[in-house]
């Protein structure tokens, strides 16, 4: 796999465009498998001349993918209860607007729309389809606990996601995760409403299938088809988490580049990590968009297999250590290294 840290900005953007395209294609193909696979299984047991299930689900998958791509940012903002900041009324709100404008200039981007989530847990995320239609969102808690340099560093991190087109990929993922969960819920309701007649009719129909040559294969495909419905939300969620973890390190580096102050981002991340309450307004479907795990810090405070597989973000200690290493190197170049750099890095 290509190391994302070795790619140029334009290569990063092109890679994210490709990933978004393949994500949508895979989503549609998955729905086609569920539909036409169901048609084939039904055809082994009863008259089923027209593949209506495949056509309906494939069309639905394509429609959901298009809708998710087009309306994903608005759905994410709606789901988190974010309120657009149009007329800043407090010092914290005015500071936020100033910081976003400064970081947009530093990143050479159009100024994104600014939103605030009414939640006391410190966090932030960016969403959008492209830099011209992007949004930066912070919680009330973040405004309360960060100083100006730290808030600037967090906003710069989110600008990094926008500039690299991470927001397109991760917002589409967030919308598709929700669509898969919705489809699973609909199929579950259909099966429960049928009282088991659908599966019962298939498993007990016509002596194991009308087409004798396919008989032994039918139960296997039936099991795979059912498992696909059951595990689809989990697979989609794990895919979202894996994509997010790989993008956070790059966004940290981009944010440090825009502010030239990696220690400020390290300090902000430590404050965010120190908050024990989860971000109640941000649900699991949008968790991978945030700068820190909004569901609690149990996994991102650890390293190992479970953290790598199920955490929304890479271990916070590793992110902070990398940023402090960058800050240490910058201070050394400037000749302003403290007398005890080890203590500085620990702090």
Query: Residues 190-208, buried b or exposed e (16+ Cβ, 10 A)?
Result: eeeeeeeeeeeebeeeeeb
Q: Tell me which residue of 319, 189, 311, 340 sits closest to 262, measured CA to CA.
A: 319
Pairing relationship of beta strands 124-128 and 134-139 according to DSSP bridges: antiparallel
Query: Residues 54-84, buried b or exposed e (16+ Cβ, 10 A)?
Result: beebbebbbebbeebbeebbebbbebbebee
d(CA 124, CA 142): 8
**Does the annotation count 158 as an active-site position?**
yes
Which residues are CB-contacts of 63 (< 8 A; sequence separation ≥ 6)? none
Instruction: Identify the active-site residue in 158, 248, 273, 277.
Output: 158
Confirm if 123 and 282 have CB atoms less than 8 A apart: yes
d(CA 183, CA 224): 17
Furthest C-alpha separation in the chain: 83
Distances (CA, A) of 67 to 32, 63, 75, 176: 17, 6, 10, 9
Confirm if 91 and 202 have CB atoms less than 8 A apart: no
CA atoms within 13 A on the CB side of 83: 9
Rounded to 10 degrees, the C-alpha dihedral 161/165/167/168 comes to: -170
Residues taking part in catalysis: 158
């Amino acid at each position: 796999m290509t190391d994302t840290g070795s790619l140029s900005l334009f290569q990063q953007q092109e890679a994210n465009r490709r990933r978004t395209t393949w994500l949508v294609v895979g989503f549609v193909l998955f729905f086609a498998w569920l539909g036409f696979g169901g048609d084939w299984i039904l055809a082994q047991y009863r008259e089923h001349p027209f593949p209506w299930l495949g056509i309906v689900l494939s069309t639905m998958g394509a429609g959901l993918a298009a809708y998710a791509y087009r309306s994903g940012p608005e759905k994410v903002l709606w789901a988190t209860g974010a309120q657009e900041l149009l007329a800043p009324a407090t010092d914290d709100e005015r500071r936020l607007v100033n910081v976003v404008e400064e970081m947009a200039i530093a990143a050479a981007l159009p100024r994104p729309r600014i939103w605030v989530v009414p939640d006391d847990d410190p966090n932030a995320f960016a969403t959008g389809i492209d830099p011209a239609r992007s949004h930066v969102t912070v919680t009330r808690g973040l405004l309360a606990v960060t100083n100006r340099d730290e808030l600037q560093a967090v906003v710069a991190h989110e600008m990094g996601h926008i500039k690299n087109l991470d927001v397109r990929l991760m917002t589409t993922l967030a919308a598709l995760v929700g669509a898969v969960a919705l489809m699973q819920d609909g199929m579950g309701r259909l099966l429960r409403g049928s009282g088991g007649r659908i599966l019962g009719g298939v498993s007990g129909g016509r002596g194991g299938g009308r087409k004798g040559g396919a008989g032994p294969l039918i139960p296997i495909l039936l099991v795979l088809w059912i498992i696909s419905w059951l595990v689809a939300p989990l697979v989609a969620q794990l895919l979202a988490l894996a994509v997010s973890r790989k993008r956070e390190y790059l966004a940290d580096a981009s944010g440090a580049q825009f502010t030239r102050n990696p220690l400020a981002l390290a300090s902000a991340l430590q404050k965010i990590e120190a908050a024990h309450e989860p971000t109640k307004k941000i649900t699991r479907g949008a968790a991978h968009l945030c700068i820190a795990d909004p569901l609690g810090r149990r996994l991102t405070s650890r390293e190992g297999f479970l953290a790598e597989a199920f955490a929304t973000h890479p271990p916070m200690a590793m992110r902070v250590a990398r940023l402090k290493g960058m800050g240490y190197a910058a201070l050394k170049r400037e000749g302003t290294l403290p007398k005890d750099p080890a203590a500085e890095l620990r702090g």
